[in-house]
Amino acid sequence: MSDYTHILLAIDLSTDSPQVCQKARSLAQFYGAKISIIHVVEPLSFTYGSDIPLDFSDIQQDLMNQAKHQLQEIASNIGIDDESCHLTLGRPETEIHNLAAAINADLIVVGSHGRHGLALIFGSTANGVLHGAGCDVLAVRVEESE
């Protein structure tokens, strides 16, 4: 196994994100690697479908602004500069793959909730990232908060 030089940390801004950040930070320190961080906001139209004739643009912009603030705060806490922070709108798996390729990341670190059954069938970002990444992927098992 070769050393990692550029780690892409993909977070969902949940209360579990610090666990994932800590793992990525430890790996970066061990390998002397750079860390970039990404959060992907899914368009509300993906969630609610296109059948509802509503204008989500103001709500979507508010979500992006909140996410930007949270992402910058998390990045600052673990020593990642603004230039290495990426906030985008789209499907998480696709956007994470695209950024990993664009920045030549050789490891993607993402949280995994260890879902089973229907929750796994209906979608897991970690699973989607794993099946299509052009580099190694580390799925960090996070504890479900209740």
Q: In the chain, where are the structural domains located?
A: 6-141
pLDDT band at 106; cut points 50, 70, 90? very high
Which whole number is the average pLDDT over 121-134? Answer: 75
26 has a pLDDT exceeding 50: yes
**pTM for the complete prediction?**
0.84
Angle at the Cα of 96 from the Cα atoms of 17 and 130, rounded to 5 degrees = 85
Q: Across all residues in the chain, what is the average pLDDT? A: 85
Which class does domain 6-141 fall in?
alpha beta
